[in-house]
Amino acid sequence: MPRPTAAQLAYGSATVIFSTLAMLLLSQTSSGLGVAIIALAALGLGLLVALTVPLPKSRPSAVPATAVAAEERMPVQRATVPSAAAPQAAPESVYEVAPSGTRGPAGP
């Protein structure tokens, strides 16, 4: 179980003290059994209040979880740089010689 926060301790303690005083004053009991019942009721109420105080929310991470999950599904493909030692084949020409001897774009 996580440790209680300062707010939980403060709200729970204040609830126990004030509810005990209020119930003792309203009931006007003088017996030991009545005081014990009121004290137990106040402790239960204080515990209930302390547990219902909202906990602080955690900070969101810098990278959303969906981006991390997408990266795990699709590996990153890195571009390859041609090596200087291996000669590259020349690309095929997109031009062809026309019958008149001038160069023009290929095709009909």
The total number of structural domains that make up the chain = 1
Listed as ranges, residues in the chain with pLDDT below 70 are 1, 56, 58-108
Q: What pLDDT shows up at residue 64? A: 57
Q: Domain span at residue 46?
A: 6-52
φ and ψ of 105, to 5 deg: -65, 150
For residue 83, being part of any structural domain is answered with no
For residue 44, being part of any structural domain is answered with yes
Q: Which residues, 6+ apart, have CB-to-CB distance to 11 below 8 Å?
A: 49, 50, 53
For residue 88, being part of any structural domain is answered with no
Q: Indicate whether this model's pTM tops 0.75.
A: no
Q: Which residues, 6+ apart, have CB-to-CB distance to 21 below 8 Å?
A: none
45 exposure class (CB count in 10 Å sphere: 0-12, 13-18, 19+): middle
Q: What pLDDT shows up at residue 5? A: 86
